[in-house]
Structure 1
Amino acid sequence: MFNINSTLSRRNFLAGAAALGSAVALAGCSSGGSDGGSADDGKTFKIGVIGPLTGAAATYGVSAEKGAKLAAKDFSTKDLKLSLKSEDDVADGEKAINAFNALCDWGMQALVGPVTTGAAVAVSGEIADDMLMVTPSASSLDVTKDKTTVFQVCFTDPTMGASAAKFLAEKYADAKIALFYNSGDTYSSGVADAFAEQAKASKLDIVDTETFKDDSSTSFTNQLTKAKEAGATLIFAPIYYTPASVLLKNAKDMGYDMTLMGTDGMDGLLSVEGFDTSLAEGVLLMTPFSADDEKNADFVKAYKDAYDETPNQFAADAYDCVHAIAEAIDRAGIDISADGADIAGDLAKAMRKIKIEGLTGELTWNDEGQVEKPATAYVIQDGKYIAA
């Protein structure tokens, strides 16, 4: 599903936000520019989308763009046309701000994205409450911290880690667990820290902890040997799908029979080029969306019809972003021809009051702009995600 360089992740791309300072001025979002041909008839609401459409993280941004486009079509009405325009930030903080300015020139009134955390932190730190921003996948607490108009559709890193520990305490209470994570990655280490804290509270048996960094992700034999010697029957690894495929291959080669559990970053494991998918049988995942879940069948069919591919969680999250914006517009009762800066506050207030039945669950938002929705776990069986 995703193809990403191990040194570049949606969660932990260097934003360079501190270095931006006055070097990149953020334009105020007043109306202007062209939306590519649709008429400004007072019934069109302009939503910008920012994400990596090219580069090593492009699979994330392209999926989000496609999901957002489907949602704009589905939630447009005769009285409210949702018009979308996308900009490529190549998962870079400075380019994300440039993309934001370009969308402001177009007349953007609300933003979906940025998709990666570094870019999202850069933009959210600069908008000064002048734009409703809903990110599908930037999970750091810093994205929404001290912001009033910024929201997340994805779980935060601490929520994901704690939820995984609670799941294991309920379903695998007797497991001997090795915690395995990338100490150089904000997402991986953030989830791992929260998992370790909740694991202690839930009295899980953590028998070993192993770390790695991107430059050593081509082999995990040493770490697996230690985990095996410690008697670990389950490895909790909040890592991305590419290193997860290496870990599973290494475990097979050394005859280590264990259960692997990951979080949403491992979603995409079955599509790793050259990977023997039989090795993923029994892998557990905490992820908010499954294309194999019957309740998502209509969306999956529409997505396949439109793009000739199966949607992933990034597409689903972005779809939910647009859904939430449409609900907030309706709840706020705003003048949909107004500038984004003039309606940002009203839309943000509405976001904290709405509840949507999304593709990724029943979504509400707290005062910090963080989503509140059920955590879900799946097990891979016969190449499908089955509720665990």
Structure 2
Amino acid sequence: MKKLRILSLAMAAALSVSLLAGCSDGTATTPDTDTSAAPNDTTSTATGAAFKIGGTGPLTGAASIYGLAAQRGAQIAVDEINALGGDIQFELKYEDDVHDPEKAVNAYNALKEWGMQISLGSVTSKPGEATSVYNFEDRIFALTPSASSTAVVEGKDNVFQMCFTDPNQGLASAEYIYNQGLAEKVFIIWKNDDVYSTGIKDTFMAEAETLGLEVVGDATFADGNDQDFSVQLGQAKDAGADLLFLPMYYQPASLILAQADAMGYTPKFFGVDGMDGILTMEGFDASLAEGVMLLTPFNADATDEATVNFVTKYKELYGETPNQFAADAYDCVYAYKLALETAGCTPDMSASEICDKLIEVFPTITLNGLTGDGSGITWESNGQVSKAPKGMVIQDGAYVGMD
């Protein structure tokens, strides 16, 4: 817990990477991004023997923005690494799970039949909880970019996360709001059928009580009841809340912002990493997000060379700004490159042999990637990532670091 407190205070630092290729001493940074080569959106081509890396995510359906972002971010990294022509080459394949646990298991089985040796797990938490069970049983190492539920890694020595866990986000958000003096009275709107939202909310409330941050109420919603938030907003307004904490993805958050504006209710809004993407949401008036605050591991508006190159390439290929799901998946592939080099793995090894090596190596490496604050990304032996989130505020249609 003490470590999480320290991490949560390291906000808004500039991401600083020395643009070097990966090395085998347990430390690596992401390289310059060559914007001349367009990645393939399906299965990549390697110049030699390649490790087969697979993942599942919502490539279609309501949550497809997350799955497509992760797939595309991973693909850019794979193509960069393959273009280097070194010993580490990848063949990447994503299967569509439509953000459904049962379909995710079917997608996982298809990847296993394809010959997957290492895994990017699943993009969203419920599918991630389902597929991680099979990663553990089959001894196929997994590093998920964004399935943040603690249940994804609990009891599984070969499943790791690139994203913050839900409890970490809840704790860090409560501490940030309290330490920055952002609110006197907080109201929480959360999704009660979503482990992501529930996990963040629970830890936020516990930490708020510890700190003496006043939570004046909370209200829930669920699938099928996620279009009209007038009741929840009315409760928050009646309670005198001057800040709404929204532990959710940006689709329902966009409706909350619009409906609060329509009723003339103007509290501060504070979100989490699932809010990333709201500025590019089709049909949403981005001006309604002005002043919204959130914690995120990635800032697409950062000016360091690695981020600028990644964002430039992503925009050229896909016509939109990458979100943190894309950046986390990109970092996953580079983490695999570093770990495989450090462990001395080769593509002719079995998945279980590679798994044993990566379990040993991952807690020893440090990656300087696109996400975090530039102080390096490391992992605990329980699979949880250690990196500092950034406090951001939306100003003039862009994410700006908060002091």
Flag whether TM exceeds 0.5 (same fold): yes
| 1:364 and 2:400 correspond | no
C-alpha displacement at 1:225, in angstroms? 2.2
Gaps (5+ residues) in structure 2?
1-41
Asked which structure has the greater RCO (Cα within 8 Å, sep 6+), the reply is 2
TM-score by length of 2: 0.83
Residues 129, 148 of structure 1: 8 Å contact kept: no
Deviation per residue, 1:331-388 (Å, 9 max, x gap): 1112332111222110121111111011112311111101111021110000000011
Aligned residue runs from structure 1 range 283-322, under 5 A: 283-295=292-304, 296-322=307-333
Residues 125, 149 of structure 2: 8 Å contact kept: yes
Hey, what's the Cα distance between the residues in 1 that align with 2:350 and 2:104? 20
Q: Helix, strand or coil: the match of 1:257?
A: coil
Hey, what's the Cα distance between the residues in 2 that align with 1:353 and 1:103? 28
Residues 72, 84 of structure 1: 8 Å contact kept: yes
Aligned residue runs from structure 1 range 197-276, under 5 A: 197-276=206-285
Aligned residue runs from structure 1 range 1-16, under 5 A: none
Hey, what's the Cα distance between the residues in 2 that align with 1:116 and 1:269? 17
Hey, what's the Cα distance between the residues in 2 that align with 1:134 and 1:272? 27
Closer/same/farther in 2, CA of residues 40 and 218 from structure 1, 3 Å limit: closer
Gaps (5+ residues) in structure 1?
1-34
C-alpha displacement at 1:147, in angstroms? 0.6
Which of 86, 98, 106 is equivalent to 1:78? 86
Closer/same/farther in 2, CA of residues 382 and 113 from structure 1, 3 Å limit: same
C-alpha displacement at 1:324, in angstroms? 0.8
Hey, what's the Cα distance between the residues in 2 that align with 1:274 and 1:238? 22
Closer/same/farther in 2, CA of residues 273 and 101 from structure 1, 3 Å limit: closer
What code does the residue aligned with 1:347 have? L
Aligned residue runs from structure 1 range 345-384, under 5 A: 345-361=356-372, 362-384=376-398
What code does the residue aligned with 2:166 have? D
Closer/same/farther in 2, CA of residues 278 and 329 from structure 1, 3 Å limit: same
Moved over 3 A (4+): 35-41
Closer/same/farther in 2, CA of residues 231 and 56 from structure 1, 3 Å limit: closer
Which of 108, 113, 120 is equivalent to 2:121? 113
How many residues in Structure 1 have an aligned counterpart in Structure 2? Answer: 353
C-alpha displacement at 1:129, in angstroms? 5.5
Closer/same/farther in 2, CA of residues 239 and 97 from structure 1, 3 Å limit: closer
C-alpha displacement at 1:167, in angstroms? 0.6
C-alpha displacement at 1:88, in angstroms? 1.9
C-alpha displacement at 1:256, in angstroms? 1.4
Hey, what's the Cα distance between the residues in 2 that align with 1:37 and 1:300? 20
Hey, what's the Cα distance between the residues in 2 that align with 1:65 and 1:252? 35
User: What CA RMSD, in Å, does the superposition of the two structures yield over aligned residues?
Assistant: 2.0
Closer/same/farther in 2, CA of residues 243 and 36 from structure 1, 3 Å limit: closer
Hey, what's the Cα distance between the residues in 1 that align with 2:118 and 2:77? 14
- Per the alignment, residue 387 of structure 1 pairs with 401
Q: Helix, strand or coil: the match of 1:126?
A: helix
- Per the alignment, residue 64 of structure 1 pairs with 70
